[in-house]
Structure 1
Amino acid sequence: MRAVQTLTTPRFTLRPLRRSDAAALFATMSDDDVSLYLTRPAFTSEEELWGWFADPDWNGRTWIAEDAGGDVAGRFVAFPAHEKGVEEVGYITAIHRTREGVARECMEALIRHLFTAAIEDEGARKLTAEVDTRNAASVRLLEALGFTREAHLREHETTHAGLCDIYLYGLLKSEWNGGE
């Protein structure tokens, strides 16, 4: 497992995952509407959620967004994609913090980190994200962050919600505006 460096934004600290984060994010991850765009159904217990968060076979990294008062505002992840230098990213905002700009602020910090930090001796050259085509909020966020829609994968994935179309987004380091 690769180390998770603590990141900061004007309102949040993005820190490594803790056991208590399962309790903090359970209301979000157990909500059927929020979980609609996950590849699995809503979680039924904090223990089940912690098992998913802490899966020892997962090769990604997790950052938890926490405000100055200690309130958990979201989960942000990055994991190796198909080859060195390419990382896939993902995010979920805590249900009680939606529409506050949490995902945008934290994703900007994560993008900056992934493009500039040492990842196996070099920053990522490309970031990717997969999103259910019905997830309009996530599509808007990725496009606002400068990601380009690279593919529309039709009937690509079967989830608890049925057969889903997926958009594949990419952001090249050479195209990134540095967060400006």
Structure 2
Amino acid sequence: MNAETFASARLIMRAPTASDAPALYEAYRDPRVMRFWSSAPHGSVAETVDYVTPHAGDEWRQWVIVEARTRRAIGTLAAGERRRGVMEIGYLLAANASGQGYAREAVAALIDLLFAQGARRIFADTDPDNARSIALLVGLGFQREGLLRAEWETHIGVRDSVIWGLLRDEWPASNNNGATGVMPAAASA
């Protein structure tokens, strides 16, 4: 599924290309970044190319997160429609880009986009031990909705999953929850 380009104050989110893979490989091969991901760290740039390049029939829209100033790929976003109006999101940020507010800014811009496109509910699932992701979601207003025990079989074993949800009326565009509003990518450069 094609992903449109959108931006926030410091970031551009656009469809990933094979040329993004070398920069993204730094994140996807990092065991610390991939600890709570559903697959193991990547073993080659080719694996990252295959993973981030959109394929025909993909159920998920994918974006690469690009730092606007440097044009460097620093992470990825994804959104999949689970039911009409219900979107699941995922995100990953390179370790060298963490701690600068980029994940919050990118996810907030994605939330703005998905609600503007008609979603009524957005949810994410996290490993119960993924404190950074949980803090991000809570900081954006997500509510803990449930625990799915032994939900995922991953490279670190069978793991539980915590479900976090956010409703459209809990996320008005004017709430200044860190979102800067979705703008065309050219407006951010």
Same fold (TM over 0.5): yes
Residue 177 of structure 1: how far off its partner (Å): 3.3
Q: Which moved more, 1:30-39 or 1:49-58?
A: 49-58
Partner of 1:22: 21
Where in structure 2 are the equivalents of 1:28-47 lying within 5 Å?
A: 28-47=27-46
Q: In the alignment, is the contact (CA less than 8 A) between 2:33 and 2:93 conserved in 1?
A: no
Where in structure 2 are the equivalents of 1:11-160 lying within 5 Å?
A: 11-54=10-53, 56=55, 57-67=57-67, 68-81=69-82, 83-117=83-117, 123-160=118-155
Once the two structures are superposed, residues 17-40 of structure 1 have per-residue CA deviations (whole angstroms, 9 ceiling, x without a partner) of: 111111111011001121111111
Residue 55 of structure 1: how far off its partner (Å): 5.5
Q: For the aligned residues, what is the CA RMSD?
A: 1.3
The one-letter amino acid of 1:29's match is Y
Unaligned runs of 5+ in 1: 118-122
Name the SS for the 1:91 alignment partner: strand
Higher relative contact order (CA 8 A, sep 6+): 2
1:177 paired with 2:172, answer yes
**Cα separation, 2, equivalents of 1:27 and 1:106:** 19
Q: Would you identify which runs of 4 or more consecutive aligned residues in structure 1 move more than 6 Å? A: none
Unaligned runs of 5+ in 2: 177-189
Q: In the alignment, is the contact (CA less than 8 A) between 1:74 and 1:102 conserved in 2?
A: no
Number of aligned positions between the proteins:
173
Once the two structures are superposed, residues 104-135 of structure 1 have per-residue CA deviations (whole angstroms, 9 ceiling, x without a partner) of: 01111110000002xxxxx1111010101110
Q: Which moved more, 1:152-161 or 1:125-134?
A: 152-161
Partner of 1:120: none
The one-letter amino acid of 1:84's match is R
- Percentage identity across paired residues of the two chains: 34
- TM-score for both structures, normalised by structure 2: 0.87
Name the SS for the 1:99 alignment partner: coil
Residue 54 of structure 1: how far off its partner (Å): 2.5
The one-letter amino acid of 2:76's match is R
- TM-score for both structures, normalised by structure 1: 0.91
**Cα separation, 2, equivalents of 1:154 and 1:173:** 27
Partner of 1:167: 162
**Cα separation, 2, equivalents of 1:58 and 1:8:** 23
